[in-house]
Amino acid sequence: MNDVQTHIDKLEDKAVNLKNAKKYLEALKKYEEVIQLKKDNFGDRDEGTLKTSGEAAIVCNILSMSFLQKENYAIALELLKKAEAYTDEGDRYRAVTYNNFACIFRRTKKLRSALSFLEKALEIEYNYLHFSAQSVDDCL
């Protein structure tokens, strides 16, 4: 198991370095590899797996907004769906993802969908504001 953990640690370090270097596509691929290894070895609900999933969700959101600026809505939406899958219901990263969904839907003139996602994001943020020591802003 120690060899597996060492391998996971090296891959995760690479992912972090790629993210810090703003090489987000490469970082996402590494994070996905790490998540799969962690799930296989430690399970879906392991704290380390969840933490890495949160990091992957952040990268997906960053990439999505980049594709939104380039008006590549299909890829932006796919990345947000991936970010949503990496987060739990009520997770603060999910709030960021919902907000970004709203940005895409607003840009594509799907205002009811945009409003729906903003309401979901607001509900999560409200719960963090009133029931958690952390705020959604802290995850950005």
What pLDDT, on a 0 to 100 scale, did the predictor assign at position 62?
98
**Vertex 102, ends 126 and 84: CA angle to 5°?**
75
- The CATH number for 128's domain is 1.25.40.10
Helix (H) or strand (E) holding 26, with range, is helix 24-42
Indicate the average pLDDT of the chain.
93
Backbone angles phi, psi at 121, to 5 degrees: -65, -45
Global pTM reads 0.89
Note down the domain range covering 7. Answer: 2-139
C-alpha distance from residue 21 to each of 17, 49, 108 (Å): 6, 23, 31
123-139 mean pLDDT: 72
62-87 mean pLDDT: 97
| Number of structural domains in the chain | 1
